[in-house]
Chain A
């Protein structure tokens, strides 16, 4: 079975400080992992994805994530938060060779000026 756990429902950081959004997954098979961002009244936007290539994945807007198989984690990081990063972030797992996406519960990122 596949599942995703986002450890924090809310994260609050100051502008210019690092961002860490945590995600742990369980998958019986080699998973593909994704991070999506959802701004209010906007569609989900893909930030980055891991598909069994390099374990450190760089995405858009300065975000990156590292796939750690031993820890079953795929945490999202950014060195310096920007006000425009305030949004809801979803970690997603897809079982290899299947269409289905399994979403984590989401982490709401608040960026303080």
Chain B
């Protein structure tokens, strides 16, 4: 139980295009999902907290107009990288918190490798 999937697992796009990454909780409902970014040989950095039915909360330094987050249902959150540039190339990981569960539980997806040419 508590499986989180991400799609796609890998994406390559041209500079200037937009890319959408999906994060789904497969067997549970998640009122809150989180988006992280992982640079090569670096740690995970929280980008934003996504709450179902409301606007995402972005961490300091993360451009909300560049990284659009939508959490339209209790099982799906999407991250859209708009007008992507090579510096946006990274590994993006989402996590989900079970609805009604204590704050300690977060379940992570397998990640999406984005390469911008």
Contacts and interface: CB of A to CB of B under 8 A. Distances in A.
B54 interface: no
A43 B43 contact: no
Given A9-B41, A43-B108, A90-B44, 13 more contacts: A36-B108, A41-B9, A42-B110, A43-B4, A43-B111, A44-B95, A49-B104, A90-B43, A97-B103, A101-B95, A103-B43, A104-B43, A105-B42
Interface in B75-111: 93, 95, 97, 103-104, 106-111
Given A105-B42, A105-B43, A43 B103 contact: no
A51 interface: yes
B32 interface: yes
Contacts, number: 47
Contacts of A70: none
17 contacts: A32-B104, A43-B4, A43-B93, A43-B107, A43-B111, A44-B95, A49-B104, A94-B103, A99-B32, A99-B49, A99-B103, A100-B49, A101-B34, A101-B46, A102-B46, A103-B43, A103-B45
A42 B41 CA distance: 16
Given A99-B32, A103-B44, A106-B43, A44 B104 contact: no
Contacts of A104: 43
Contacts of B108: 36, 43-45
Interface string A20-33: 00000000000010
Contact of B46 (A51, A90, A100, A105): A100
Contacts of A105: 42-43
A88 B111 CA distance: 14
Contacts of B41: 9, 106
A43 B104 CA distance: 17
Nearest to B102: A51
Contacts of B97: 99
Given A32-B104, A90-B43, A99 B34 contact: yes
B103 A41 contact: no
